[in-house]
A and B are shown apart, each in its own frame.
Chain A
Amino acid sequence: NAGVTQTPKFRVLKTGQSMTLLCAQDMNHEYMYWYRQDPGMGLRLIHYSVGEGTTAKGEVPDGYNVSRLKKQNFLLGLESAAPSQTSVYFCASSTGMDYSNQPQHFGDGTRLSIL
């Protein structure tokens, strides 16, 4: 059981380039989340989705776009990468049933550097 899989694991971009981070989960979870983790800042929610075809903004959505075309996949896009987006990005998922009391399951992260 793979759980939550993120690709790629590492990436280096130049300022202004675009890229898409892919998150896939095989647990049939309704809810999916994208976080970024920065030293001294803790985890911050970028965007989330409560089901296929839906997305919503988190606390730091600027500069990112997301799509949830299939239930098992949640894509995070950077249209024009900036050095401030250098971070470790984590995807997570959770069941929609009684979501308030269900743990989130995390991928291993994508380490992204913007030069």
Chain B
Amino acid sequence: KQEVTQIPAALSVPEGENLVLNCSFTDSAIYNLQWFRQDPGKGLTSLLLIQSSQREQTSGRLNASLDKSSGRSTLYIAASQPGDSATYLCAVRPQAGNNRKLIWGLGTSLAVNP
């Protein structure tokens, strides 16, 4: 059974720091892995989607990597800003079973302090 874990559950950093959020999954048979951002009281915004054949994706200050063999993905945020404060969720789309269902982690709550 596919499970997705995100560690740490919460993270607090000073502004300007580079940081890494972690996501691990138990079954490497996936179509893709996605990173989302959720602001308090808001919905989820898709940040990056990495297909299983890709190793990384970049968007601005964000870089996501994928290592299927080890079941890990990292989201790297460069030069963090207070506006980056949010909860970051990762989700995998498994190849097995009902692949219309994403498997979600519980998220990392990030606070960037001015």
Do A100 and B31 touch across chains, with their CB atoms under 8 A apart? yes
Number of residue pairs across A and B with beta carbons under 8 Å?
52
Report, as a range, how many residues of chain A touch the other chain: 20 to 34
From A13-21, A42-50, A67-75, A78-86, the one touching the partner chain is: A42-50
**Chain A residue at smallest Cβ distance from B53:** A101
**Chain A residues with Cβ under 8 A from B91's Cβ?**
43
Report, as a range, how many residues of chain B touch the other chain: 20 to 34
Complex formed: what's the CA distance from A43 to B18 in Å? Answer: 28
Q: How far is the CB of B88 from chain A (nearest CB, A)?
A: 13
User: Assuming A90-B44, A100-B32, is B101 touching A31 (CB within 8 A)?
Assistant: no
Complex formed: what's the CA distance from A56 to B49 in Å? Answer: 25
User: Assuming A101-B49, A106-B43, is B99 touching A42 (CB within 8 A)?
Assistant: no
